[in-house]
Amino acid sequence: MSEKKEKKSDNETVLLVGGGTGGHVVPVYNIYRFLINTKPEIPVAVIGSGSKIEKPFFGGLPNYFVLTSGKFQGYDILVNLWQSILFCAGFVQALVYLNRIRPKIIFAKGGYVTVPIIIWARILHIPYFVHESDIVMGRANRFAATGARKVFVGFPVKNYPGLKKKKIEFCGQLITGADKFDKKERFDFGFPNENPVIFVTGGSLGAVNINKSVFGTLTLLLLKYNIIHQTGAKGFAEAINVRAALPESMKRSYFIADFLSAIDGDNKILSAIELADLIIARAGATTVAEIARSGKPMILIPYPHAAGDHQVKNAQILEQSGVCMMIYDRDLTPRLLIEKVDKLFDDKEKMREMARVAKNFFPSGAIDKIGKEIISEVSK
């Protein structure tokens, strides 16, 4: 889309769009923080889905708007009929928000909540940027990429053959990294001994199969390791019961939370990553990049139902590069999990090499790069 056709406005407002999961919310929050800290005079608005995870980040902001939009799923006619109604409502709502915000530039992180905004951005000739974290571009971002001013990607450009090379840029993941983490903010998980620490996380929404396998081998793990376990909302109640049934000598070695915060001044997720000797996680790009940047060895168990199988493909590239050990979700059992954990801890040299490769896998400075490009667009 040529610049001559784009909307001209004296308004300098930046609109950030994305929500639903931590993989969308945290990157949007990081860009938001960069903009308000670097150019506080530039107004910044955020549109999200209103999910639970968004509230700690944006809930108190007067310029945070919740967009109701449909997410089409599979071939269930009744479900998709209802989602179509929600999408139509979101389409109208998006126009109302855009008329109210009147952004000069939009940054879209992906997810179904971005689609109505991008449709109107094209109609109204509002320029926008896109960022894709995963190695397989999601449907919303594939749609948005066609008319984007620039598409920033989290993996090397060769992994996105369908995009025009002149508008695509490899910048890495939108994470702050441990280098900007104030050590005074590190959370104390209260472990009673100096045993190695394993951080288990299924992402912001949790992971049923990972939780089940951890519960199934927990007493054996706690004989040798301290565990930080982010269970997700659906697994937290069971985790409380499992912890309550542990011998008293083990309870303090098992820290559980439904969701570990990632807010400045209360960043428990980064505290857990920094403390851990090994991390067991899904293979969402933002989570993996946070782990890799901190130089931690990891076991990745990709979510098997991710769109385009992108988590498996993320993990495969990382395993081939020596960053991680991968276990397919279909193969995961309590016995296999503890076998893989013990095997890694018995091979300290392999863990050190995994940590070294991980630390250098993703380029740094993605937040600064995109933030400065947004500011440059606003200043035109």
How many Å apart are CA 126 and CA 118, to the nearest integer?
9
- Domains of the chain from N-terminus onward: 3-170 (3.40.50.2000), 179-359 (3.40.50.2000)
Question: What tens digit of pLDDT does each residue of 142-177 get?
Answer: 999 999 999 999 998 988 887 888 899 999 999 876
Sheet holding 254-257, edge to edge: 254-257, 226-230, 197-201, 278-281, 298-300, 324-326
Q: What integer pLDDT is reported at residue 7 of this predicted model? A: 46
Structure tokens at 85: 């109604």
How many Å apart are CA 304 and CA 309, to the nearest integer?
7
pLDDT at 83 exceeding the cut of 70: no
Question: What tens digit of pLDDT does each residue of 320-366 get?
Answer: 999 999 999 999 999 999 999 999 999 999 999 999 999 988 888 99
For every residue of 102-117, which 3-state class applies, written as one string? CCCEEEECCCCCHHHH
| For range 116-132, the mean pLDDT | 96
Structure tokens at 67: 């967009």
Helix (H, G, I), strand (E, B) or coil at 162: coil
| Whether the predicted model's global pTM rises above the 0.85 cut | no
The CA distances from residue 182 to 38, 45, 266, 270, in Å, are 19, 27, 10, 10
